[in-house]
Amino acid sequence: MTTTAQPSFAARARAHSGAAGRYDRLDLLRAVAIVWMAVYHFCFDLNYFRLIAPQDFYRDPFWTWQRTCIVSLFLFCAGLGQAVAWQQRQPWPRFWRRWAQIAGCALLVTLGSYVMFPRSFIYFGVLHGIAVMLILVRLTAPWGRWLWLAGAIAIVLPQLVQYPVFDSRWMNWTGLVTRKPITEDYVPLLPWLGVMWWGMAAGTWVLARRPQWFSGAIPRAGAPLATLGRWSLSFYMLHQPVLIGLLMAYVQLTRG
């Protein structure tokens, strides 16, 4: 009597995700985050150019809660993506190539924001945070279910531990600050690492127990969004220069 070897989990995952190792549902969820972000930024830009009634994007809960939700979804998706990469045994060289792209884009964001907002430029925004968090999440991937606890501690810790020594620009990236720094985008390690850890933990659980949640089909109308989700970094880098450029041109044409 002969037996047939069962495919490994990694092989089953690759079969579910297609030749390119992609999950359309995950790409679609990532696209929701970046489109929501683009809408938010467009409203911010309209306010900056005084094309809408004045809005307080720094204190109004309508805007601050949206930002929190957008960043949370963005980082949670990043954690889900790392779970997929881990289960597919992504090699370190490939990880570092992607990481270098993100870190390079973070540097460009710093330079671009310094031109527009020299007093509040972005020195540790979402891409800077992701660059650091990706390394930590990759190194802690073997923690498995303990990532849930680690994530909870990371989220709660900055509410319990705050010291003035962390308020300087060289230390506030930790998140253990007594006051929020003046910058256009601030995504410190804590509490946001906790969100990415939860994304990693959730993704690992789904891939092990409910892989069809990722591999299932999406509506045909969602295909363009899924494609956009595969190019999230490029979209992130291009959308603001395009929006700002168009609005600057509009202002010049209408206000002379």
Query: Does residue 199 lie in a domain region?
Result: yes
Given this model, what pLDDT does residue 255 score?
A: 78
Query: Does residue 179 lie in a domain region?
Result: yes
**Cα torsion 212, 213, 219, 221: sign:** negative
Domain count, the chain: 1
- pLDDT range class, residue 189, cuts 50, 70, 90: very high
Given this model, what pLDDT does residue 147 score?
A: 98
pLDDT beyond 70 at 148: yes
pLDDT beyond 70 at 195: yes
C-alpha span between 39 and 43 (Å, rounded): 6
- pLDDT range class, residue 23, cuts 50, 70, 90: very high
Query: Does residue 50 lie in a domain region?
Result: no
Query: Does residue 132 lie in a domain region?
Result: yes
Given this model, what pLDDT does residue 1 score?
A: 37
Average pLDDT over residues 98-120: 96
Query: Does residue 29 lie in a domain region?
Result: no
Q: Which domain holds residue 190?
A: 91-206
Query: Does residue 37 lie in a domain region?
Result: no
Query: Does residue 136 lie in a domain region?
Result: yes
Average pLDDT over residues 13-42: 81
Residue 136: closest CA among 122, 151, 123, 121? 151
Instruction: Return the CA Rg of the chain.
Output: 20
Given this model, what pLDDT does residue 256 score?
A: 65
- Whole-number mean pLDDT of the chain? 91
51 forms beta bridges with none
Cα→Cα distances 143→24, 75, 162, Å: 27, 19, 27
Given this model, what pLDDT does residue 22 score?
A: 83
CB atoms within 10 A of CB 9: 13
pLDDT beyond 60 at 3: no
Cα→Cα distances 59→39, 67, 137, Å: 18, 11, 31
Residue 79: closest CA among 140, 19, 121? 140
Query: Does residue 201 lie in a domain region?
Result: yes
